Amino acid sequence: MNEKQWSVLVDVINGKTIEPMPIGFIIDSPWLPGWAGISIMDYYSSEQLWLDANFKAINEFPDTIFLPGFWSEYGMCTEPSAFGARCAWQENEFPFAHPIIKSTGDIDSIEKPDPVSDGLLPFVISRLKHTQKQIEQEGHSIKFAIARGPLNIASFLMGTTEFLMATQMEPEKILKLLDTITSFLVDWIKLQAEIFPTIDGILILDDIVGFIGEPDFLKFAKPYLQKVFNCVEAKVKFFHNDAPGLVCAPHLADIGINLFNFSSDHSITQMRELVGEKVTLLGNIPPRDVLAQGTPEDVRNAVQAMLEPLTDRSRIIASCGGGMPQDVSTENINAFIEAIRKQPL
């Protein structure tokens, strides 16, 4: 992300209306490798191919804010690997982290990882260190500390169904697990911010938050998200949850979150009513059914339908309801950009 884009992002979060409406997409391994013409394995294993793919997107769409920008990641294996999860890799499939907690009794033996040395995390940092000079020579900088959220990591360590059942059957065990994971996440976010002083944003991704009701959100999610989002000073506190987001929405501002990417099942107007005036919304056309699988005309129509009900366009960044999915074409991204630019001021 360059300084102009960062300035626009911060201005929008602070309530300044920008015309035309800013456009931003979360991009990472689901979309970038295929779009750039490389395998998923090569994207993960080659620093240069990873860097080239990111620069290709930036140069192809210079007026689009790509979030978080130069995301150094290994899919869903990134954080679980630090806990000792066995990670399975294939040439053109997303990696998978095998659960390590077979029963809640195993939780007592789970130790907090050291992000300096454990799992894939040193490789995340090393990739950024090795490419930092090239990134900065092109006018960009590393702006975000990034991690999967506490519930998301817990679901990979246990299995999603097993984790959700255990919240009801043995809540004290789950609270102990979440304490350990959250303490690790605080260390991980702080380490990223310490190594890269240009970081002034936090991105946490946790779709499991969308699978629990409000009492469970208040017990198992909110206090842990508060600890993670407030462990370092940051101008941008960005939360991604493209599962159902109605339960968490009213609590985001209280947590400290000021940027929210949410499911396309919810309209921007509905989400605005729930999150209040302090949270910037990133969304919100359907990512798979329209942006990836639709025609350019479908994309233009979806953008128009998204924007027509809005009477106030402040604190909105046009996007899709989730991260950029696989198989989104250059043509459809250009249709999205064109539709935003043609909107009346």
pLDDT tens readout for residues 24-82: 999 999 999 999 999 999 999 999 999 999 999 999 999 999 999 999 999 999 999 99
CATH number at residue 49: 3.20.20.210
pLDDT tens readout for residues 154-181: 999 999 999 999 999 999 999 999 999 9
**Mean of the pLDDT values across residues 112-116?**
98
**Domain count across the chain:** 1
Please give the angle made by the CA atoms of 338, 321 and 138, to the nearest 5 degrees: 60
CA distance 285 to 323: 11
Q: Which residues pair with 145 in a beta bridge?
A: 202
Q: Which residue has the tokens 């940051």?
A: 234
Q: And the tokens for 245?
A: 């987001």
Whether the model clears a pTM of 0.75, i.e. scores above it, the answer is yes
Domain membership of residue 68 as a residue range: 3-341
CA distance 184 to 200: 20
